[in-house]
Structure 1
Amino acid sequence: MKRILIADDHEAVRSGLRAVLEQRVDWEVVAEVNDGGMAVAAAIESRPHVAIVDFSMPRMTGVEVARRIREYPLQTEVLIFTVHNSGLLAQQAFEAGARAFLVKSDANKLLVAAVEALLLHRPFWPRKTELDHAPRTNGERHHELTAREQLVVKLVAEGYSNKGISAILDLSVKTTEAHRAAAMRKLEVNSTAGLVRYAVRTGLVEA
């Protein structure tokens, strides 16, 4: 049974998510909470496979929840759930360690696919999220890459091929190759090994 945590400060949203998720007989919502602090505590207690966390909650934002969850050996994948289709929010979620980002208006058609990806420890970032216009601002050369390029570099370092990255990000292979080439040019590396070294050095992936 796959365990799922829902954290949202609106009861109607939590009920709607539970109704969608529990149509799968092998998925179980093990906790529902309405603020960020409770989300972290519930994650530690119930050790869910996936935590669906609203970006805007009392006491602690969803991004901070994702960051705190990463501090514990929980093996919990985090999906940031928000009403805003914002590249900046997607970037913040990515930096905090969330592996999926979903706009609430897309939940009916994409929620199950996002959870399925996370259960396979694969990221889920819908193409419509404007990551390409959200440059990073901190860290070594991060300011030179768009968030989309940064995500491509992370996936390269995790061992995905261009075709695999394209499938995950819902991009054409040609577009993925263009993002990869742009990242290599900006980082002044000329090989996959160079991208991997950068990803390890900057903490995008663990060594």
Structure 2
Amino acid sequence: MIRVLIADDEALVRTGLRMILEAAGDLEVAGEAADGAEAVAAVRRLRPDVVLMDVRMPRMNGVAALKAINREPDPPKVVMLTTFDLDEYVYGALRARAAGFLLKGSGPRELVGAVRAVADGTAILAPAVTRRLVDAFAERDPAAARAARDRLARLTARERDVVGGVARGLANAGIARELAMTETTVKAHVSRSLAKLGLANRVQIALLVRDAEQGERGGG
């Protein structure tokens, strides 16, 4: 059973999320929080596996709560919930090592799938989310592009193929089909690539690849 904490300042949103999660059968709502401070306290008290965290909340926003939670021993995976205002909150969550992002308008299947994925250690983000985050936040200066290309050079050719698929928003199954691999092999390549690059999740891989590509297109 995957234990989930829901953190959102709107009671109706929390109720809707609870209904969706508990209908899945293998997910249990361990608790709820109405702001970031409550979420941090609930994580310490309840030790959930996954936190669904609203980005914008009173008293302590979701990014500040994420940072505090990640300082805890053996922290849960945190998925940020957003209406997709591309602002400093979302940028901060990227840099604070969020396990993933989910649109508040996502359907039940996507929500449940995201919780299961991050609990399993694989943050599978919707392709639209990945692409829009990357387009908004990728660095565009030549120095960043060169640094990104140098980091990607640490990977084997096959690992670069896999991270290229990640950067395009493909899930492991899509990468496996494209490269004629098993999903298990793709997952292993992603894990090794994250370790070699010193990154936390697939969005950060996508950002790094886009940094490198921006430099190539710009001649840097």
TM over 0.5: yes
Distance in 1, matches of 2:109 and 2:164, equals: 21
| Aligned-partner Cα distance in 2 for 1:121–1:167 | 15
Q: What aligned pairs does 1:1-207 form with structure 2 within 5 A after superposition?
A: 1-84=1-84, 86=86, 89-129=89-129, 130-135=132-137, 143-144=144-145, 162-163=161-162, 166=165, 169-170=169-170, 199-200=197-198, 204=199
Q: Provide structure 2 residue ranges, at least 5 long, that are not aligned to the other structure.
A: 180-191, 201-220
Greater RCO, CA 8 A, separation 6+: 2
Distance 1:5 1:196 in 2: 28
Partner Cα separation in structure 1 for residue 11 and residue 82 of structure 2: 15
CA deviation after TM superposition for structure 1 residue 59, in Å: 1.2
Q: Which amino acid aligns with 1:59?
A: R
Instruction: Count residues in correspondence.
Output: 173
Q: CA offsets, 1:135-194, max 9 Å, x none?
A: 356xxx6x549xxx89xx6xx79x977448737932775xx99xxxxxxxxxxxxxxx99
TM-score computed with the length of structure 1 as normaliser: 0.69
Does the Cα contact within 8 Å between 1:136 and 1:144 map onto a contact in 2?
Answer: no
Percent identical pairs in the alignment equals 31
Cα gap change, 1:19/1:196 in structure 2, threshold over 3 Å: closer, same or farther?
closer
Give the structure-2-normalised TM-score.
0.65
Asked if the contact 1:3/1:49 (under 8 Å) is kept, the reply is: yes
Question: C-alpha displacement at 1:13, in angstroms?
Answer: 0.3
Contact 1:101 1:124 in 2 (8 A): no
Q: Is the 8 A contact 1:21 1:27 kept in 2?
A: yes
Tell me the alpha carbon deviations over residues 68-109 of structure 1, each in whole angstroms, 9 at most, x when there is no partner: 111011330000001125386544322111111011112434
Rg: which structure is higher?
A: 2
Q: Distance in 2 between matches of 1:164 and 1:92?
A: 23
| CA displacement 1:14-51 (0-9 Å, x = unmatched) | 00000000012221101111011000010111110000
Q: 1:194 to 1:12 in 2, by over 3 A?
A: closer
Q: What is the CA distance between 1:134 and its match in structure 2?
A: 2.5
Partner Cα separation in structure 1 for residue 145 and residue 164 of structure 2:
21
Task: Mark the runs of 5 or more structure 1 residues left unpaired by the alignment.
Answer: 178-192
1:47 and 1:74 in contact (8 A); partners too: no
Query: 1 or 2, which has the higher helix percentage?
Result: 2
CA distance in 1, matches of 2:76, 2:160: 24
3-state SS of paired residue (2:114): helix
Contact 2:114 2:124 in 1 (8 A): yes
User: Within 2, Cα distance between the matches of 1:119 and 1:160?
Assistant: 23
The 3 A distance-change label for structure 1 pair 161 and 16 is farther
